[in-house]
Amino acid sequence: MTNMYKRSPLQIQIAVVKALLRRELKSRFGQYRMGLAWALIEPILHVLVFMGLFYFRDRFAVGGLELPIFLATGIAPFLYFKKVITQTMGAISGNKNLLIYRQVRIFDLFLSRFLLEAIISFCVLIILIAGAWWLDYHVVIISTLRFLLMFFLLSFFAFGIGLVFAVIKSLYPEIGKVLPIFLRPLLFVSGTFFSINEMPSAVQELLLWNPLIHVFELMRSSFSFHYDTSLVSLEYVMLWVLSSMTLGMLMFRANWRKMLTI
């Protein structure tokens, strides 16, 4: 009879991740009065600031997209990318006491934080887009599949980079403190508030090394038949995703025992 109710390793991991998700949700948002609302307020404030700057220059659209959609599909995904990396980096230090339970594996800590951020950020992005439509801006999604694909690729890219940084931070805490600093300038060189098509050719050649620009431009093309994506490449994004996930998993596989003892 006992064998009939014995759970498989996969069932155990799913149960552990669910429990960690509830714990992360409560610990991150339960202690604040505004709670989850801040996850929505932050990108809205960023969008409003840049909309004000564009309106000051008498610009109401970029690449055929109205400003709320153009900015939302750059700023919100970038904040998501940044949060996945920083949350993954802090997964061990924030939950190390849970590793005394044999059901909890170190990878579960990374996975639960990643999934929570993915769920919250996806909902925030949809709310921003729906809000623009509700405010009577022109919003038409022409390729739901492309939109979802770019979100998933961005997710795995961020998770791969997050794993790499998490391993480095665990083994070399001093270096880990410096790594988040390098994420800050990315806001200004990742196409969050500009289109690569409007940059001078010399600048384009330099910026196009950044895979985030490719992600955001391809995501924006989901809302317009005429959005120019001739300079960006889906294959380039997929190469970065595969490379980051492979490197992240290899580094984790080689160092997870050391990470437990530090």
Tell me the pLDDT tens digit for each residue of 81-130. 999 999 998 888 777 778 777 788 889 999 999 999 999 999 999 999 99
Residue 153 · residue 93 · CB < 8 Å: no
Q: Can you give the C-alpha Rg of the chain in angstroms? A: 20
| Interval 205-259: pLDDT, tens | 999 999 999 999 999 999 998 899 999 999 999 999 999 999 999 999 998 888 8
Which ranges of 30-105 would DSSP assign to H, the alpha helix? 37-56, 67-89, 91-95
To the nearest 5 percent, what fractions of the chain are helix, strand and coil? 75, 0, 20
In one-letter notation, the amino acid at residue 138 is H
73 phi, psi to nearest 5 deg:
-85, 5
Residue 219 · residue 129 · CB < 8 Å: no
